[in-house]
């Protein structure tokens, strides 16, 4: 069965029978091809009389503009533009994520600020998260207990989240 057949034959009848509404949220939708996105839109078109499936697609504006075709543009009902994170927001996100991933003694505020400044240049939190991940690995590989600025700089030199599929 194709994805559309599974949805129209199994999922949609189930949603209708149980009066369930599905909200499908896909981040980095630009990772999909145009025909794959069209297939997702067909899910909504399958259920035109009842609104049992809704979708939210998330993408960086520049990446979305490359992907969007006139056909896809006609199917979009609403667009919300979000502003890039401020330096303070980037720093808060990085601090929170580091507190989840690392022992508190493995870094300090200066490390958070350094990664925050790097992330702020491109307004890219993914870059900051990738740098933290790589710096942690560098620190671990060197059998050290604390992430140093030199680990951040080394990690930055090898971090390109825009082209890594698993980010």
**Interval 38-75: pLDDT, tens:** 777 776 665 556 678 888 888 877 777 777 777 777 77
- Given a cut of 80, whether residue 118 has pLDDT beyond it is yes
Position 166 scores a pLDDT of 46
> What is the arithmetic mean of pLDDT over 65-94?
83
The most confident of the ranges 4-8, 31-35, 47-51, 66-70 is: 31-35
Position 164 scores a pLDDT of 45
Q: Annotate 99-144 with three-state secondary structure.
A: HHHCCHHHCCHHHHHHHHHHHHHHCCHHHHHHHHHHHHHHHHHCCC
Position 46 scores a pLDDT of 59
- Given a cut of 50, whether residue 165 has pLDDT beyond it is no
Token pair listed for 53: 């499936």
> What is the arithmetic mean of pLDDT over 143-150?
97
Element (H, E) at 53: strand 53-58
């Amino acid at each position: 069965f194709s994805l559309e057949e599974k949805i129209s034959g199994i999922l949609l009848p189930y949603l209708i029978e149980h009066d369930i509404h599905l909200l499908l949220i896909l981040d980095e939708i630009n990772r999909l091809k145009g025909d794959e996105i069209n297939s997702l839109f067909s899910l909504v078109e399958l259920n035109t009389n009842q609104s049992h499936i809704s979708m939210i697609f998330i993408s960086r504006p520049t990446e979305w503009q490359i992907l969007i075709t006139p056909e896809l543009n006609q199917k979009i009902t609403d667009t919300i533009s979000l502003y890039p994170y401020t330096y303070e927001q980037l720093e808060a996100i990085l601090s929170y994520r580091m507190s989840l991933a690392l022992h508190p003694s493995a870094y300090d505020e200066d490390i958070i600020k350094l990664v925050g400044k790097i992330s702020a240049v491109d307004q890219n939190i993914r870059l900051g998260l990738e740098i933290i991940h790589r710096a942690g690995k560098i620190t671990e590989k060197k059998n050290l207990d604390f992430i140093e600025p030199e680990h951040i700089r080394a990690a930055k030199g090898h971090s390109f989240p825009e082209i890594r599929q698993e980010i």
